[in-house]
Amino acid sequence: MTAVAVPKRILVNDKPIRLRWAQQAAWGFVAANIGALIISALYYLFIELRWHIGSHTFLYLKPDWDKLFTYKGWNADRHDVRNVYEGVFATLFVKSLLANWKKARWEAPGWYVAVSPVLILIAAFIPVAVGIFLINHAGPWIWQQWALTHGHVIHNPVHLNGRLSALGTYLSGYPWQPAAIGVLTGLVVHRVYAPAGDTVQMYFVGRSVDRTRDALKRGDPDARRHLPRWPLPPTIRERAAWIMEQDLPVRDRTGSITAAVWFAVIVLGSLAGYGGYIRYVVAKGH
């Protein structure tokens, strides 16, 4: 059977999705915040929080983390590690949720789905470190040399003294840079996470398609209620609608895939919820 080219706009319930771009943008915002909150939770759990039983502390990394390096810029760098990784995971979640499945489709085994977040942390380490070096050290130095060469005065609203004055002005004037580096890094390492993200998405799409087909076989007049509906993202609704329209097979969801998908969803969902508590409750109290 010859594969049918996927059209630019797929009909859902025999009509195109209205305000598709706005819905995509809204879900992109949600997905980006979920990714960032996961990193907030991980940073707090493994860096800020003191794990103890009674008076015995068995894990407390903050003192060692704060003094990991002795150079003056480490205070800014250590916070940007979290900020850049937040941008990385925000980008990965947006790309995975809203990815153009018409052009690229991946499938991952269960073990890969389960360990993919750890693989992302490892794969992104070098780009994150290089990005932080550029925005906090190479960038300010280049900017200072440019200003001195052209006779410009560098103002310092952060009130750092001496050679750090250019750093203070640079950081205060460009607070978007850690996020930008995180987004770029996320785009670079996305292919590491893409198979896992697509497998998770297709797991739930395939489940809804199978339920719909079973209901149709039973003669259920409202069988399509099982398909993804508003307010779910347009990409997911369109993907399910296209599979139904073309009578395409869905992926196997037995064995390790089911366990891995639910493990990833529960763990990442719990981290996102805890990250929201840390950011909007705990952090507000300090």
* Segment 101-127, tens digit of pLDDT: 877 677 889 999 999 999 999 999 999
Q: In the prediction, which pLDDT does 2 show?
A: 55
Is pLDDT above 80 for 275? yes
* Segment 122-159, tens digit of pLDDT: 999 999 999 888 888 776 666 556 555 655 544 444 44
* Segment 6-34, tens digit of pLDDT: 888 888 988 999 999 999 999 999 999 99
Q: In the prediction, which pLDDT does 174 show?
A: 46
Q: In the prediction, which pLDDT does 156 show?
A: 46
pTM for this structure?
0.83
Q: In the prediction, which pLDDT does 286 show?
A: 57
Q: In the prediction, which pLDDT does 26 show?
A: 95
* Segment 199-238, tens digit of pLDDT: 999 999 999 999 999 999 999 999 999 999 999 999 999 9
* Segment 39-93, tens digit of pLDDT: 999 999 999 998 888 888 888 889 899 898 888 888 888 989 999 999 999 999 9
C-alpha distances out from residue 50 to 12, 239, 281, Å: 50, 45, 18
Q: In the prediction, which pLDDT does 158 show?
A: 44
